[in-house]
Structure 1
Amino acid sequence: MTIVVREAPHHRNLTCYTDYRCRLPECVERYNTWQQNRLRAVAAGTWKPFIDATPVREHLLELYAAGFTPHRVSVITDIDWNTVRLYTQAAPRQGRGMIRQTTPEFAAKILAIKPEPTLPGRVDPTGTRRRIQALVAIGWPLKELGPHIGVKPDHVRRIIKRNEQVFGTTAQATADAYDRLRNSQPRKHGVSEIGVARARKYAKEHRWAPPSYWAERMDVIDDPDFEPMYGVTRREIVAQDANEVMRFAGLDRQAAAERLGISKAYIDHAFREYPQYAVEVAA
């Protein structure tokens, strides 16, 4: 049986240990080292877990004025995108107010960023494509997104259809447009009922995840190694798993079912529903 595990998106800071219960040796060591340093500081009377976040907020506003976005700051600092955003604005829908105090570690990372534009020439297109796809999923036709991103409508379609790198300015402009439009209703921006319905239908056919799916996954929306499982049923996952087990281990359906901890009948049903994965005993 396939079990979905909530895994940490990366293993670079304490959150994988505290929030995702990761117990990789290097993550446990990182957490233990942090705890030891904290206890020493507490004993010495120098422990300052939180400091005023005003300098961080002012610095972020300077960065935004220079062309940065919360997403760009998140990539540079490894600080969660939602956390970066909360330094300058509240999130009432999530019941979270603006950050008034922060840790010295987070403050140092953000204050170290220079306000000069540092956009790369070309970047991986994964995050740009996913943001466009998410907007289509809530009813935005591709041709309507061009003006909001600042590119021609044909270019938006080209980003989706071609797996090519995009300009850093385009990636950032798309992220900005996504932030503005992800909670909007296309109809209020002049998109017709037919246009909204067609966009949603197209996105559904291609299993494009909407903004609600990415809301809790913004730390991996730009990660090409993260595979969205939006719209994938358990039966399809079983069909995929059975296909791999049978092809690579040379098992028949009964043996594959025992390996996966399910019944042979379940595999039979999964293969009938998703015939593209159906195989017999591997040669």
Structure 2
Amino acid sequence: MPGSSLPKHATRARYSVHGCRCIECRTAHREYEQHRTRQKAYGTWKPYVDAEPARQHVRSLMARGMGWRRIAKVSGVANGTINKLLYGVPGQGRPPAQRIRRETAERLLAIDYSAELLADGASVDATGTWRRICALVAVGWPKVRIARALGSHGQGLQLHERLVLASTARRVAELYDAWWDADPTEHGVQPAQVGRARRYASSRDWAPPMAWDDDALDDPEATPHQDARRAISSAERREEIEHLASFGTSTTEIAKRVGLSTDYVRGLLGGWGNPARDKAA
């Protein structure tokens, strides 16, 4: 899930830029000031450090969709300082800064990437967004219901395959957090719609929420747990089959509706069936 939009706790950046006064941040600030005082007394204080680590970190954040102005706002570093760090002063023939103040470097390096940091209009990788949508369909949420919850009334899920807006990614993540373990039928979704959604997802081999670790959803290289995928699929099929069976539906008809063999359905029901009704079907 998305992390905090602030620098980490126990850092001077969190203390000085965002005013955190927790014990860890106060301790980090105090230790920094003590270290600086000692170094000044010894005549060894070096207020400037190599700019390259901070520059590479800023570029990494930008490559993931975070604009440099947003980075400046979150870190408390002036826009002009970041501009010089990245681009120098081309009009004066000055290259990107080679050294920056220690405090500036600390503030920039303290920023952890998070979707929460991105401006609404920033483009982000759509992997996690689609995985969450597919997982919701896999547990019975119809795509039209998901689209409606996201504000796409009558338009369906009009999302790009590779990139989505950061605001869209956040809305989908919030919806996923609210629905992943909820029963769709308790929210007005008809059992038949639930069954169709599950079959649609199963035919495309979409993994349900229980097959994903939270920290893997947004990782393009991650894969779902296959054992969990199979277990959830079997449990969901059994639930749907037993629901149909409770209405006296024949084994043959159930098999036809869920797209499975009659023997498989009978096996999931533990041999349950109405021979006369099955014969009639």
Alignment TM class, shorter chain as reference: 0.3 to 0.5
TM-score by length of 2: 0.38
